[in-house]
Amino acid sequence: MLWNDDLAGRAFVPEPFGDVTDNLLLELDEHEQETGRMVGVELAILEFDRWDDLPKLDLLWQLPGQEPLPLDELLKREQRRLRQEAERAASLA
Amino acid sequence: MGPEPGEAREETPRERIQRLVAGGQMPRAAVEQAERLWQERLRHGITLPNGEQVWITLDDLYQVIVDSRIWRQPERIERAIAHVFEIRRSHSGRRQAFSRWTEGTKALLASIILEPGNRLWSLHLIDAKRMRRYTRRGGEIIRRQSERS
């Protein structure tokens, strides 16, 4: 999950873009109408490979202590990191 | 093993909720209510209408309650699982379940993703439009409950 902390705790609805596990999370107002803002992105990151399905957004995303990046670059970098972590954990098991 | 120096470490769902509560973005009372519900009713599993158990860890709970429509009414987690009417095959051994129930005059729909072993991966309240978008993706239906059952 990748969250937009400015909108943390708000209501949202998933908008699927890849497999059923891959969703943009779109903010809802108190009348459950979409506001056009994005609460987060949910995807099965270790196995995700449908990069062409990822919507192109005008927003940059930033993890704490890191530089802002387009969503696909940030997710690819996180995927590499998490896969390396998983490999390390598997090699120690 | 922890992260290397300078390497990012993923925040756990519990840490995120604690941070949001500390920052005033989620009410502590709502989180405590959800934790009580988990202790009393969710941690031993919730039964699907077909008799299978869905397992929910405390971290799964913290992941699900970030939607205000759920942290305001965490009992919706149990209702959603208990009212599943269709289960579809997804990728990597996961399954997607759809659920429908009413609260007073309000009809609710939910999409639930289950990991292999029936651990809860996600639970989202959805609308009919989203349900159509999911079902168009064509996962094989492996269980459907009739409207009258």
Q: Is the dihedral of CA B53, B58, B60, B66 positive or negative?
A: positive
Helix, coil or strand: residue A7? helix
pLDDT along chain A (93 residues), means of 10: 90 93 96 95 93 90 90 94 91 84
* Planar angle of CA B93, B99, B100, nearest 5 degrees: 170
pLDDT tens by residue, A66-92: 899 999 999 999 999 999 999 998 888
Single pTM value for the model: 0.90
pLDDT at B82 over 90: yes
Amino acid at A26: L
Percent pLDDT > 90 in chain B is: 81
Chain B residues whose beta carbon lies within 8 Å of the beta carbon of residue A65 = 8
A37 touches chain B (CB under 8 A): no
Assembly ipTM: 0.89
Q: Contact B96/B87 with Cβ under 8 angstroms?
A: yes
User: How many angstroms separate the CA atoms of B139 and B113, rounded?
Assistant: 12
pLDDT confidence bin for B6, thresholds 50/70/90: very low
Angle between helices B28-37 and B75-82 (to 10 degrees): 40
pLDDT at B144 over 50: yes
Chain B residues whose beta carbon lies within 8 Å of the beta carbon of residue A63 = 8
Look at residue A70 in the predicted model and tell me its pLDDT.
94
User: How many angstroms separate the CA atoms of A14 and B130, rounded?
Assistant: 8
Chain A residues whose beta carbon lies within 8 Å of the beta carbon of residue B90 = 19-21
DSSP A13-67: EEEE-SSTT-EEEEEE-TTS-EEEEEEEEE--TTT---GGGSPP-S-EE--TTS-
Of A9, A66, A78, the CB nearest to B68: A9
pLDDT tens by residue, B106-135: 999 999 999 999 999 999 999 999 999 999
Torsion angle defined by CA atoms of residues B111, B117, B120 and B124, in that order, rounded to the nearest 10 degrees = -10
Look at residue B2 in the predicted model and tell me its pLDDT.
40
* Domains of chain B by residue range: 13-144
Q: Contact B95/B115 with Cβ under 8 angstroms?
A: no
Q: Tell which of B28, B66, B99, B132 to mutate to test the A interface (max A CBs under 10 Å).
A: B66
Mean pLDDT over each residue of chain B, to the nearest integer: 91
Contact A20 B90 (CB under 8 A): yes
pLDDT confidence bin for B11, thresholds 50/70/90: confident
Look at residue A57 in the predicted model and tell me its pLDDT.
86
Amino acid at A8: A
CA distances B100 to B6, B55, B128, Å, are 46, 20, 10
Look at residue B5 in the predicted model and tell me its pLDDT.
40
pLDDT at B59 over 80: yes
Nearest CA in chain A to B27: A9
Look at residue B9 in the predicted model and tell me its pLDDT.
60
User: How many angstroms separate the CA atoms of B20 and B29, rounded?
Assistant: 13
pLDDT confidence bin for B147, thresholds 50/70/90: low
Look at residue A65 in the predicted model and tell me its pLDDT.
85
